[in-house]
Chain A
Amino acid sequence: MKQYIVKRLLWTIPILIGISFFAFILINLSPSDPAEVAIRVNEITPTAENVAQMREQLGLDDPFMTRYLSWLGNALQGDFGNSYVNNKPVAEEIAKALPPTLYLSLVSLLIIVVVSVAVGVLCAVKEDSFTDQIMRGIVFVGTAIPGFWAGILLMWLFAVKLKWLPTSGMMTPAAVILPAVTLALGYISTYVRLIRNNMIQNKRENYVLYGRVRGLSEKTITRHIFKNSLQTSLTALGMSIPKLIAGTVVIENIFAWPGIGRLCVTAIFNRDFPMIQAYVLIMAVLFVFCNLFVDLGSVWIDPRRREA
C-alpha cells in the first residue's frame, strides 16, 4: 500500500508541473497585452510610455522561461502576485472568497447525499412502481433545467411568491438554501441513478437470495444491498467535490454569493490574469488531489486494485 501511495504521489508531480505550465501559458495565448490590460482596468488611458513602464514593472520583457519559473517559485510559496484590478495580493483575495464557496459546496454536498440516498434507495426498493417513476421524473426534470434558469425559478417561487427565503446574498443563514439546492440539482440525478441501478443489480446477487433463505428481514437485506452498492457512488462523489467548487461560477453570480466563482467571473471579464492563473491552478490542483484521494480510498477498500 505504501509503495502504491508513494508511486501515485510521485505521479502527481509531473501532472502539477504540466498544469502550472498550462495556467501560466494562458497569459501568453491572450491577444491582449497584459500590460495594457493592467493599465486599462484602472481606467488609465494606455500610452506607449505607460505600457512600457508597466511591462517592466510586471517583468513581461523577461524571457518566457524566466517568467514562468519566477511565477512558479512564488506560487509555491503562496504568492500569486497582485490583482491588476485592485492591486491586492491574489492569494489574499482567494483566501477571502474560498470560505463562502466551500460553505456553499458543503451544504450542496449534504443535500446531494441526503436526497440521492433517500430517493435512490426508495426507487430501488419500489423498483418500477409509480413512486419510482414519479421520483425519477422529478429528478430528471430538476437536472434537465440549466443551473441559471433553475436558480431564477427557485428564487421567484420561494423568495418572491412564497416569501420563505431571501433572493440572494449571504446576510442570513437561510440565504444558502436556494444556491445550494440549485447547485445540487445538477448532481442529484446522477447519484439517484447510480444508487438505484447498483441496488437493483445487487438485489439480484446470490447473497441476497441466501439472506432471504436464512430468514433475514427485508430491512436488514436492504441495508446490506445499500452498503454493497455504495462504492461507485462514493468514487463519483469524491470527484464531484472539486466539480462542485468549480461549478459555483454561475450560481454565485445569480445568488450574489461572494465566493471564488464570482471572483473568477469578474477576473475573466477584467482579464485580471494573475487572478485567472491562480484560479485555474488551484482548481486543477484540487481536481488532482481529489482524484488521488478517491483512488487511494478505493484501493484501500478493494486491495485487488493495487495489483492492477
Chain B
Amino acid sequence: MKFKKGLTVVMTAILCAGILAGCSGASANTDVSTKEALNYACTKDIRDINPHLYSGEMSAQNMVFEGLTKNEGGEVKPALAESWDISADGLEYTFHLRKGVTFTDGAAFDAAAVKLNMDVIVANKERHSWLDMVNEIKENVVVDEHTFKLVLNHPYYPTLVELGLTRPFRFISPNCFVNGTTKDGVSGYIGTGPWILSEHVDNQYATFTQNENYWGDKTKIKTINWKVMPDPQTILLAMQNGEVDLLFGADGDQVDLDSYKKLEAEGAYQTFMSEPVASRAILINSKSPITKDIKVREAIEYAVNKENIIQGILNGSEDQADTLLSKDVPYCDIDLKTIAYNQEKAKQLLEAAGWKLGADSIREKDGQKCEITLSYNAKNAQEGTIATSIQADLAAVGIKMNILGEEKQAFLDRQKTGDFDLQYSLSWGKPYDPQSYVSSWRIPAHGDYQAQAGLEKKQWLDETITKIMIEADDSKRAEMYQEVLTYVNDQYVYLPISYSKTKAVGITGLNGVSFNDSQYEIPFEKMYFSN
C-alpha cells in the first residue's frame, strides 16, 4: 500500500516536471547573420566519397567533386567544360575545358586529368553497369591541354546529362589514385568543387570548408559541419536544441513527414519543399499466379483510392500520380490512359476474370483464394502505412492482401528473384528519369524487370529501350518512348501513387535553401545566413 503511495507521488512529480518543462516555449531566435558554419544532420556518415564508386553519400560527393557538365533547371549546363561540340553523327563530343582550374591539392585540371579519370571509370565498367553510358565510351582522347574528346560507339543521346550525374563521371585529383586507378580506393578526396573535405571522423562527423580558390562563385558559408545522427527523432530534438541548422532529405530520409509537419507548425523554422522529383508507384507482378491476369492488375488499379493515401497518409505533401512518370519528365508529356478510383469497376473486372466472391468476402477461382502479398522494406514506416490503406481498398473488392515488411536485403532478394506480387517502386527522379530509370528495366536484378517479365512483349520492350538510348533522331526517340510507356501503362504493371518531393527544414535566418535537379544532392553552396 505504501509502495503504491510512493509510486503515485513519483509519477505525479514526473508529470509536473514534464508540464513545467513543456511550458518553457520554443527555442528563441538569435542573431545568425554572423554565423559562419552550418550544422547539417544526417542519419548516415559520408563514408568513402570516392566519386568513382558508390559507397559514399552522394550529397557529400557532390560538394567536393565536379563533372564536365551539370544538370540544372532541367537543362544541361557547363561545369568544368566551358562548352562542347558534338559531331554530326553524334559519336564525338569535344569538350573545351575551363582554363585555370586546379584541384585543391594544386594539381592542374586539364585534358590529361580528364582522360585519366575517364579511363579508370571505363576500366571498371562492371561497377557502372546500371549506366549505359559507360558501355558506350569507345575512346577518351586528349586533343590539347584544354580540349578533351569523348568518342562513343553509338550516338548515345543522354551523354551530356549522364556526364553531369553525381557519379561516376566526376573528377578527382590524379594524385589520389592508388596504383594508377580508383577502383580499389583512393588516397584522398581532392576535387575541384566549392568545398574541401577538411576532416572526417568515421560515424561521427565530417567538416567541409570553403574552397578559397574555387573557379566559380565561392560559397557564402565558410564551413559545413556534417553531423551523423542515426535516429531521426534525435535529429529533430537536436534541431530544437539549436545543434542543427538544416534537415534535408528525399523520401522520408532525414526528415519524415510527421517531423516536417511538426516543425512547420511550430513556426520557428522555415520549411521547404521541392517540385515533384520522382515517382512513387506499386509494381504489380505480371508473372505471379494471381496478378499475371491483366484483368486482376487492372482491377487493382481501379480499387485503390489514391486520394486517401495522398491526403490521409502523405498529408497532401505529394501530388497524385496518374501515370508512372510525370508529364514534366522529358519525353513523358504523352496521352496515356489514366484510371480513376472506381471500386464497382474493379469488382466487375474481377468477376469477368472469373474471381467470384466467397462466403468469407474473399474472391475465389478454381478453389484458389484471391490472396496476394505486398512486400516492402520495413525500415520505411511510411510504406507500411500506405500498404494498410491499399489493403483496406483491396479487401473491399474481395482481394485479400497480406503485408510483408522485411529487412532491406530480404526485400532486395525478393525483388531480384521476382518472388513478389506487389512491391514498392521509386523512380530515381530528375535527371535520371526517364533514360536511366527506363534503362534499368532491362536488368534482371531490378524489380521492374521482374514485374514486367510476364508481359507478352517483354523482349520487344527491352529491345526498344536499347534502341532508344542510341537513337540519334529526337522525334524517333520520342516516338519510341511513347510506345514503351504506353505499353507499360496499358499492361497495368505499375500502380502510380504520387510524385514525391524533397523536403528541407532550416532555422530562421538560413537563406538560399533550394533544390538541385537531383534529389540526391544538397546545394549548400547557395545557402547563407542573414537576419
Contacts and interface: CB of A to CB of B under 8 A. Distances in A.
B241 A166 contact: yes
A46 B3 CA distance: 61
Secondary structure class of chain A's binding surface, majority of residues: helix
B445 A152 contact: no
A32 B21 contact: no
Interface in B206-237: 227-231, 233-234, 237
Contacts of A266: 230
Interface string A110-146: 0000000000000000001010111111101100000
A128 B245 CA distance: 51
B234 A155 contact: yes
Contacts, number: 138
Interface in A241-265: 253-256, 258, 262-263, 265
Most chain B beta-carbon contacts within 10 A, residue among A40, A97, A138, A160: A160
B416 interface: yes
A83 to B, nearest CB: 11
B55 A141 contact: no
B6 A86 contact: no
Query: Which size bracket describes the interface of A in this complex?
Result: 35 or more
Nearest to B1: A133
A266 B202 CA distance: 13
Interface residues of B, number: 55
A167 B241 contact: yes
A46 B14 contact: no
Contacts of A258: 201-204, 228
Contacts of A44: 54, 126-127, 129
Contacts of A162: 21
B241 A140 contact: no
Contacts of B205: 169, 171
A46 B129 CA distance: 10
A256 B234 contact: yes
A97 B202 CA distance: 10
Contact of B10 (A86, A137, A157, A163): A137
Contacts of A169: 204-205, 227, 229
A269 interface: yes
A47 B446 CA distance: 11
B34 interface: no
B21 A269 contact: no
Contacts of A140: 7, 10
A301 to B, nearest CB: 33
Contacts of B487: none
B416 A46 contact: yes
B272 interface: no
B22 A42 contact: no
Contacts of B287: none
A205 B14 CA distance: 38
Contacts of A43: 54-55
B443 A45 contact: yes
